Amino acid sequence: MKPLLRNLAEMTAHRDHLRLEVSVLSTLLLQGRDTRVRALEMFTHDGETWLRPRSWSEGGSIVTSEYEALADPAAFALPELPELAKCIASGGKSVGRVEEHGHTLWMPVWLGERAHACLEITQPKAFTRHQRDVIAGVYLVYQNYQSLLDYSERDALTGLLNRKTFDEQFARQPGVESWDARQDPEVPGQWLAVVDIDHFKLVNDRFGHLYGDEVLILVANRLRSLFRSQDRIFRFGGEEFVVLLRSATLAQARMALERLRSTIEAHEFPQIGHITVSIGFAAAQGGAPVEVIGRADQALYFAKEHGRNQVRHYEDLVASASLGQKVAHDEVELF
């Protein structure tokens, strides 16, 4: 029991979702010498739910995937595990399968009404009553702690990631330091966009903050629906949102942001009518998070000052000298 308690203590010491996941798998791995464990990430692609192994046991240790969800060759559609699909559809907590080569137990990890991951445990023999009790206890601790972490990282109004989580998410972007958007615009890279609702103060002043909050919630919903599961969306406060687009070419990033702009413009908001957004974006490389945000902000301000309701790319504006004289001073760019 002591190793289990020690692992539980270590598990709840983490403030990072992936490290927490690795820790809980290590704890479950203690259940038997021949036990195998996996954490399956759930994501949506073309309207269908998919899973992919994000962390798993290998040689007595836990390893994690190097792939983004959509690019993972090990990903598979949820219907390939019909027992799990049925369990998730009914809001269940666990389901098992018995096969010749072993016994498997799946436990969906829920955040609110949505299952975002699943723990999988496989062993040659049937699970004993004691094993099931211990596994269920670890699972509940993990899910409750995941919920607490998620609550601390989310904006209370919109449910999007909040400002304090941005630096950590930015640092997780693969290849940010080595990738350069100027080398080849056709090479997928990382992009940061700042989205600002035009004339939002007038909405609050004319209709009240209750309708203003509803606009923010509906815009957040559009952001969630128009971007991929591998992208990250934040509310920075007020009417400003930030999007980290991962593994996209310049053309793909521009198309995704234009789609957002036109979708917001076409939507009729209750009582308010139509609103617009201005968007500035930049390559997410070549500096600290605050520097990259500063570049995207420059493009956003240009959009605001030149008619609003448009998408502007920082590197394009610099190349055309639209932002004025650029003066280099060590690693700081002044305008």
Three-class SS of residue 11?
A: helix
Contact indicator for 190, 241 with CB cutoff of 8 Å: no
Catalytic residue among 80, 239, 240, 268: 239
Instruction: Please report how the helices 129-153 and 17-28 are oriented relative to each other, as an axis angle in degrees rounded to 10.
Output: 170
Q: Do domains 2-153 and 163-334 have the same CATH topology?
A: no
Contact indicator for 106, 94 with CB cutoff of 8 Å: yes
- Taking all residues of the chain, what is their mean pLDDT, rounded to a whole number? 85
Q: What is the pLDDT of residues 283-298, one digit of tens each?
A: 998 778 889 999 999 9
Look up the pTM and report it: 0.65
Does 239 participate in catalysis according to the annotation?
Answer: yes
Contact indicator for 217, 157 with CB cutoff of 8 Å: yes
The CATH topology of domain 163-334 is Alpha-Beta Plaits (3.30.70)
Three-class SS of residue 274?
A: coil
User: Looking at this protein, which amino acid is placed at residue 272?
Assistant: I
Q: What is the C-alpha R_g of the chain?
A: 23
Residue listed under structure tokens 């009790």: 133
Q: Does 185 score more than 70 pLDDT?
A: no
Q: What is the pLDDT of residues 30-81, one digit of tens each?
A: 877 889 999 999 887 777 899 999 999 998 899 988 877 777 899 999 999 9
Instruction: Please report how the helices 209-226 and 250-266 are oriented relative to each other, as an axis angle in degrees rounded to 10.
Output: 140
pLDDT > 90: percent of the chain: 52
For the chain, domain boundaries: 2-153, 163-334
The values of phi and psi at residue 253, to 5°, are -65, -45
The CATH topology of domain 2-153 is Beta-Lactamase (3.30.450)
What percentage of the chain's residues is helix, strand, coil (to nearest 5)? 40, 30, 30
Residue 192: other Cβ atoms inside 10 A:
27
The values of phi and psi at residue 120, to 5°, are -125, 130
